[in-house]
Structure 1
Amino acid sequence: MTTSGEEREKAAVAPVLVIRKVKQILESFTIEEPELTLQQITRLTGLPSSTCQRLVQNLVREGFLDRYEDRYRIGLGLVQVAAPGTFGLDLVRLTRPALRRLRDETGETACLYMRDGAFRTVVALAESRHPVIRLFVVGMVMPLHAGSAGKVFMAWDPAARRDAVGQGLPRYTPRTVVDIDLLTEQLGQIRRAGYATSFEERDYGAASISAPVFGMTGDLVAAIGIGAPTQRLAPSDTGRLASAVVGAAEEASRRLGHRTGVRPDSAAL
């Protein structure tokens, strides 16, 4: 490579490194810690103090950070720049790539659910290409206590559990859990595992695995999961498929602005 070629390569790499450092600074601000001192920013980013100070000053000058005495926060200038990117976006559109990837990875129908009282509704789906499938349609309404997605809502949202118990726990099959103590024990196990499974709790021959989707503030906003006939999804398949479901839920959460570790205290649930 000629000297001029090396210089061009260095000139191309330098702006990328600066952008990466700026990204580190902006990502150091969280909902829990929206205001930081320069010392805190330096510690969180791991940048040299002189570099961090120079970049922070430039970000303040451009309106991307605001300064209040010795503390900094995300500036209105950055909010204004980002606003067009959020216009018209909603939960379904943002999580659609994760839903489709889950379908392609597992081969089974992937569904996104939202809760309304004691019930859950399919708001989006990516349908399996298998000739024999478990039928789901957008708008389909199901109870919370019978099925993996419903138990995800109950496990991470105390209001969902209260609504379901208040509505009553009807039995749909011999596998439907209607004992409150047993259900409470299951919900604890689901929180610890990070996902829920269901085998013939609502319909004979049907099984599902679901995981929680969290929003920007760490609150549960949806559940994502797969549903399939028990001939393709048996308890022995859980280990093989659960990681894909959890991965899709984490991707959907990231697309909604959630950051790992930003989550309500599960001990209070």
Structure 2
Amino acid sequence: MEDGKLTVRAVERALDILLCFTQAEDLSLTEIASRVELHKSTVHRLLASLEGKGFVIRDPASERYRLGFSVWELSANLTHTDDPALLLLPEMERLRDVLGETVSLYVRDGMERVRVQAVQSNQAIRRVAPIGARLPLYVGASSKVLVAFAEHAEQEALLSHATWPASSRNEAYQQQLREVHELGYATSVEEREPGAAAVSAPIFDRSHRLVAALALSGPSNRLTVEMMKEHAPALLEAARRMGKMLK
């Protein structure tokens, strides 16, 4: 019974830590420990568990914590107007209607990207994009956007991570990232999936913090390189509008 009580107490403390973020976007270990009135060593262990499950994210540069994308995954069936996945849905539908292809919203979660929202194309042959899908961060247009526009320290940490493929650490990949940053968007043709192509642009909030990658995807025989270049201005403009909707 005592072990059960300790387990419940740990859960309550972890939830108290998560609730700290109802009043702040990011917090340091010291600030969290002060708010929940626990020793920093205890809070550090709990944060490590929460980070491992994706409920918090630690910024390696500032050593501050913020909510992770597992919170978004849990809230998939809620209707909060502050949820970017729901807040940006009308703009995504508008973009789909204008360009005629599937529109997706991706966020980075550790070494993966997560599709947190999608609007399917109305065309008979289309890209089906299931919400909640986790995909590699080292391949695909949206992945390149999330890496290319990440803070320098975050990008360095990603590329030097033990799980990052050696083939994506070479000069050719680095040049791709530089080109994406210069162009403002990324493209991919059959990089992850045969017959599929995508073009993606970054969404920045009002503080110019990278929030997500907006992507347009479809069959590669329809969404050609030339067509992606033609669609890029509309995609960039939609991403800009979406960013203004976020705090």
TM-score, with structure 1 as normaliser: 0.58
- Aligned residue pairs, count: 166
Asked if the contact 1:117–1:160 (Cα under 8 Å) also holds between the matched residues in 2, the reply is no
Q: Which residue of 2 aligns with 1:256?
A: 246
Matched, 1:117 2:110: yes
Deviation at 1:249, TM superposition (A): 0.7
Question: Which ranges in structure 2 are unaligned for 5 or more consecutive residues?
Answer: 1-79
Q: Which residue of 1 aligns with 2:158?
A: 163
Matched, 1:204 2:197: no
Deviation at 1:133, TM superposition (A): 1.2
Which letter maps to 1:90? D
Which letter maps to 1:189? E
How big is each residue's C-alpha offset from its partner over 1:155-184, in whole Å with a ceiling of 9 and x where there is no partner? Answer: 11131553255153459xxxxx63431111
Which letter maps to 1:107? G
Tell me, in whole angstroms, the C-alpha distance in 2 between the residues paired with 1:253 and 1:221.
8
Which letter maps to 1:194? G
Q: Which residue of 2 aligns with 1:64?
A: none
SS of 2:168's equivalent in the other structure is: coil
Check 1:167–1:117 CA distance in 2 against 1; reply closer, same or farther (3 A cut): farther
Asked if the contact 1:118–1:164 (Cα under 8 Å) also holds between the matched residues in 2, the reply is no
Tell me, in whole angstroms, the C-alpha distance in 1 between the residues paired with 2:107 and 2:233.
21
Aligned alpha-carbon RMSD (Å)? 1.9
TM-score, with structure 2 as normaliser: 0.63
How big is each residue's C-alpha offset from its partner over 1:197-223, in whole Å with a ceiling of 9 and x where there is no partner? Answer: 011111111100000001121110111
Q: Which residue of 1 aligns with 2:179?
A: 189
Tell me, in whole angstroms, the C-alpha distance in 2 between the residues paired with 1:98 and 1:151.
22
Matched, 1:101 2:94: yes
Matched, 1:213 2:208: no
Moved beyond 6 Å, runs of 4+: none
Q: Identity, % of aligned pairs?
A: 34
Question: Which ranges in structure 1 are unaligned for 5 or more consecutive residues?
Answer: 1-86, 172-176, 258-269
User: What does 1:10-159 align with in structure 2 at a 5 Å threshold?
Assistant: 88-157=81-150, 158=152, 159=154
Check 1:130–1:182 CA distance in 2 against 1; reply closer, same or farther (3 A cut): same
Deviation at 1:91, TM superposition (A): 1.1
Larger radius of gyration: 1
Q: 2:231 aligns with which of 241, 258, 269?
A: 241
Deviation at 1:238, TM superposition (A): 2.1
Tell me, in whole angstroms, the C-alpha distance in 2 between the residues paired with 1:167 and 1:200.
25
